[in-house]
Amino acid sequence: MYRTKFFDHLILLSGVFIMVGPLLVALMTSSHEAADIHRNGLSILPGGHFIETYETVLTREGGFTGKITGLRMMMNSLILGLGFAAGKILLSMLAAYALVYFRFRFATVTFWMIFTTLLLPLEVRILPSYEVMNSLHLTNTYTGLIVPLLASATGTFYFRQFFKSIPDELLEAARIDGAGPFKFFVDVIVPLSKTMMAAIFIIMFVYGWNQYLWPTLMTTDEGFFTLVRGIKQILLVWVGSNIPDYNEAFALAILAMLPPVMIVMIFQRWFIKGLTESDK
Amino acid sequence: MTHAPSLSPTSPAPASATGFFRRFRSTPAEPASAKRVQFSSPFLPYLFLAPQMAIIFIFFYCPSVQAIRSSFYLEDPFGFGSSFVGLANYTDVLKSTEYLGIARFTAVFTALVTFFSLSIGLLLAVKADGVIRGNAAYKTLLIWVYAIAPPVAGLMGMMMFDQHIGPLVKFAGLFGWEMKVGLNYNDTAFAMIVVSVWKQIPYNFIFFLSGLQGIPVSVREAALMDCRSGFRRFRTVILPLLAPTAFFLLIINTTYALFDTFGVIDVMVKDKAANNPITLVYKVYMDGFRGNDLGGSSAQSVILMIIVFVLTIFQFRFIERRVHYN
């Protein structure tokens, strides 16, 4: 009995080691000097240059134009993450409300048109999507960065499923009290959906923050680079130089993963709930 | 709603009170899932749907139709119009040995990534479900990596597999394996698979764990009484109950390996795709944006669309079935 438990913990601890180890190493190594890393390799102990490295990464103006800072990239990532999550919730709640609570003529057609977007991820239609954006002059804008990512109906389905689970009696009661569609939405549906909205907001924020392919295509102006988009630039610099700035590369990687990781950790319960209950 | 709803039979009928919205009950032909009571309005539902539909139309339907259209055309490289070539783009693509090689690699890559991330995720979930002490801590620590973007995971991989400082390269060196990630085809493929699996384990872990915790205690206790061997209990009782979750994850993981690993691959091959393994999605990107082969890239897009389409239909049919039996 005790032996089995011992092996269970051993397996779990190796799992934790594999999953968390590289992150810890990246964090610790980022606090050493580049030459030091080049000489001694990665480190699991903190070095003395933590604040220095992160200050440099956040405030030094770099890139090809020499104008982009880590702080600016972080801002852009934040705008993408928040804008995407908020847009997704707004669009999908309204659409799901119409689909569940209204009877109208083209309901079935509309449903299938929205449903179809789940079939094809952005990756398979990147080139024509890019051309549409180009012809609309939306490259290198926040609109171009955020709005096309909204063209998938995942959120609509989460909310549709959730709305369908709300008891019919609520609407009947509201109708008896004389509430119209707007009042019912604002006073009943929105308060009831708060947990659902929080769960979806978290998932969508992480999704938006972590976008890579689309920002890579849409932004050529470094002023619009997100942290995740900037990763490749970091690596290109890394490859080219004699003693690569390992410390700064790691610092940027840590900054790029910090907000989503923190959010998943802090809101773990909502996050897991949103993920497992809505993906079905 | 600011006041308690009144349901007394003497309440006035709402329909005529608002006048504008008519209340009705659905006919039996309606699917059982629809609401019994709905609003009815000539334009409000369209108003609510308008933003979503507009975005879907401009950024989903237009590009998708465009992709299908241009897969039948040959674009002039200097921008002087295009000419209809029928299925030539498709036959060119499917006859190219390079494309077939990439397709083969994609299949192997997808199979390995799916297999390993599923089995490691399942193993950890079963163990985390079994222990009492430290359960929450393990759970928190094991799901961190979910939040990391694929290219950042790729960067972590480049660090672990770095020629000078990578601990995994040194470790492999102990066994006489001289790993050259980025230069040697097989070594790069190995590193890409390791990083992609690492990135996907938490997702599978979360779903398997919630699947395990959904199994009723009574079932577990009954199994415990009937069968002493832990492994046999797992194989004959727990595993069949987890099968729906596993099948769902199988599809999700396949699409992950096909599409979401783009960031990992892009960071790890660093634009030098020549001797390095790449997947089909990366090839679409390379041909479309680097090679300017619009027709070929579009034909590849359409081939991928068909693959995803089949996978997704499969998934939805299955989920429908699961809803039925649960």
Written as six digits, the tokens of A65 are 């134009």
CA dihedral A182, A188, A190, A193 (to 10 degrees): -140
Q: Which pLDDT belongs to residue B107?
A: 92
Average pLDDT over every residue of B283-310: 83
Residue B255 has pLDDT above 90, yes or no: no
Give CA angle at B64 (A137, B47), nearest 5°. 75
Flag if B56 and A153 touch (Cβ within 8 Å): yes
Distance from CA of A66 to the nearest CA of B (A): 22
Average pLDDT over every residue of B92-115: 89
CB atoms within 10 A of CB A44: 11
pLDDT, tens only, A84-131: 999 999 999 999 998 888 888 888 888 888 888 877 778 778 888 888
For residues A177 and B3, is the Cβ–Cβ distance under 8 A?
yes
Collapsing DSSP to helix, strand or coil, A103 comes out as strand
Q: What percent of chain B has pLDDT over 70?
A: 83
Q: Read out DSSP for A20-65?
A: HHHHHHHHHHTTS-HHHHHHH---SS--S-HHHHHHHHHH--BTTT
| 184-203 in chain B: CB under 8 A from chain A | 198, 201-202
Domains of chain B, with CATH numbers? Answer: 91-325 (1.10.3720.10)
Average pLDDT over every residue of A31-53: 75
Task: Single out the residue of B21, B27, B23 nearest to residue B43, CA to CA.
Answer: B21
Q: Which pLDDT belongs to residue B204?
A: 92
Q: From CA B192, how far away is CA B113, in angstroms rounded?
A: 9
Distance from CA of A225 to the nearest CA of B (A): 14
CA dihedral A119, A120, A121, A125 (to 10 degrees): -170
B309 has a chain A CB within 8 A of its CB: yes
| 86-105 in chain B: CB under 8 A from chain A | none
Q: From CA B120, how far away is CA B193, in angstroms rounded?
A: 14
Residue B172 has pLDDT above 60, yes or no: yes
Of the two residues B323 and A247, the one the predictor is more confident about is A247
Which residues in B lie closer than 8 A to residue A114 (C-beta atoms)?
Answer: 52-53, 56
Among the ranges A138-147, B109-118, B303-312, which has the highest mean pLDDT value? B109-118
For residues B205 and B142, is the Cβ–Cβ distance under 8 A?
yes
Residue B197 has pLDDT above 90, yes or no: yes
Q: From CA A202, how far away is CA A260, in angstroms rounded?
A: 9
Q: From CA B234, how far away is CA B224, in angstroms rounded?
A: 10
Residue A200: inside a domain, yes or no?
A: yes
Residue B84 DSSP class: E
Q: From CA B235, how far away is CA B222, in angstroms rounded?
A: 15
Q: Which pLDDT belongs to residue B76?
A: 67
| 121-160 in chain B: CB under 8 A from chain A | 123-124, 127-128, 130-131, 134, 138-152, 154-156, 158-160
Of the two residues A268 and A280, the one the predictor is more confident about is A268
Written as six digits, the tokens of B323 are 């809803």
Count of positions (residues) in chain A: 280
pLDDT, tens only, B5-60: 333 333 333 333 332 233 333 333 334 456 766 787 778 888 888 898 998 888 88
Task: Single out the residue of A152, A95, A121, A89 nearest to residue B56, CA to CA.
Answer: A152
Residue A134: inside a domain, yes or no?
A: yes
Average pLDDT over every residue of B145-169: 85
Residue A249: inside a domain, yes or no?
A: yes
A86 has a chain B CB within 8 A of its CB: no
Which residues in B lie closer than 8 A to residue A118 (C-beta atoms)?
Answer: 312
| 124-153 in chain A: CB under 8 A from chain B | 124-132, 147-148, 150-153
Count of positions (residues) in chain B: 326
Written as six digits, the tokens of A136 are 């609309």
pLDDT, tens only, B83-98: 777 788 888 888 888 8
A92 has a chain B CB within 8 A of its CB: yes
Residue A147 has pLDDT above 80, yes or no: yes
User: Which residues lie closer than 8 Å to A76 by C-beta, 6 or more apart?
Assistant: A224, A225, A226, A227
The CATH number of the domain holding residue A210 is 1.10.3720.10
Written as six digits, the tokens of B219 are 């079932």
pTM: 0.84
Residue B5 DSSP class: P
Flag if A127 and B143 touch (Cβ within 8 Å): no
Q: What percent of chain A has pLDDT over 70?
A: 91
B171 has a chain A CB within 8 A of its CB: no
pLDDT, tens only, A227-237: 888 877 766 66
Query: Which stretch of DSSP H or E encloses residue A102?
Result: strand A102-103
Average pLDDT over every residue of B138-156: 88
pLDDT band at A67; cut points 50, 70, 90: low
When the pLDDT of each residue in chain B is averaged and rounded to a whole number, the result is: 78
Q: Count structural domains, chain A.
A: 1
Average pLDDT over every residue of B51-72: 87
* Lowest mean pLDDT across A124-128, A265-269, B314-318: B314-318
Residue A5 has pLDDT above 60, yes or no: yes
Pairing of strands B39-40, B82-84: unpaired
Q: Which pLDDT belongs to residue A56?
A: 74
Task: Single out the residue of A259, A72, A226 nearest to residue A149, CA to CA.
Answer: A226
For residues A244 and A34, is the Cβ–Cβ distance under 8 A?
yes
Of the two residues B278 and A243, the one the predictor is more confident about is B278
pLDDT, tens only, A188-204: 889 988 888 888 888 89
Start-to-end CA span in chain B (Å)? 34
Among the ranges A147-161, B139-153, B169-183, which has the highest mean pLDDT value? B139-153
Among the ranges A100-109, B263-272, B311-320, which has the highest mean pLDDT value? A100-109
Q: Which pLDDT belongs to residue A84?
A: 94
User: Which residues lie closer than 8 Å to B297 by C-beta, 6 or more apart?
Assistant: A127, B284, B287, B288, B291
Beta strands in chain B, from DSSP E residues, in sequence order: 39-40, 73-75, 82-84
Task: Single out the residue of B209, B239, B200 nearest to residue B138, CA to CA.
Answer: B209
Best of A80, A110, A127 to substitute, by most chain B Cβ atoms within 10 angstroms, is A127
Residue B319 has pLDDT above 70, yes or no: no
Task: Give ipTM to 2 decimals.
Answer: 0.86
φ/ψ of residue B25, rounded to 5? -100, 150
Q: Which pLDDT belongs to residue B80?
A: 65
For residues A270 and A199, is the Cβ–Cβ distance under 8 A?
yes
Average pLDDT over every residue of B248-271: 85
Largest CA-CA distance found in chain B, in angstroms, rounded: 87
Average pLDDT over every residue of B131-153: 86
User: Which residues lie closer than 8 Å to B55 by C-beta, 6 or more apart?
Assistant: A91, A147, A148, A150, A151
Residue A149 has pLDDT above 60, yes or no: yes
* Lowest mean pLDDT across A14-18, A259-263, B83-87, B213-217: B83-87
pLDDT band at B318; cut points 50, 70, 90: low
Which residues in A lie closer than 8 A to residue B48 (C-beta atoms)?
Answer: 94-95, 97-98, 102
Residue B190 has pLDDT above 80, yes or no: yes
Q: Which pLDDT belongs to residue A117?
A: 83
Residue B274 DSSP class: T
Distance from CA of A263 to the nearest CA of B (A): 8
Average pLDDT over every residue of B284-309: 82
Give CA angle at A220 (B151, A261), nearest 5°. 30
Q: Which pLDDT belongs to residue B120?
A: 94
Residue A208: inside a domain, yes or no?
A: yes
Flag if A209 and B207 touch (Cβ within 8 Å): no
For residues B241 and B254, is the Cβ–Cβ distance under 8 A?
no
For residues B184 and B174, is the Cβ–Cβ distance under 8 A?
no
Q: From CA A233, how far away is CA A236, in angstroms rounded?
A: 5
Distance from CA of B30 to the nearest CA of A (A): 11
| 150-179 in chain A: CB under 8 A from chain B | 150-153, 156, 164, 168-179
pLDDT, tens only, B272-282: 656 788 888 88
Q: Which pLDDT belongs to residue B273?
A: 59
Q: Which domain holds residue A115?
A: 72-278
pLDDT band at A65; cut points 50, 70, 90: low
Residue B116 has pLDDT above 90, yes or no: yes
pLDDT, tens only, A159-182: 888 888 888 888 888 888 888 888
Residue B195 has pLDDT above 80, yes or no: yes
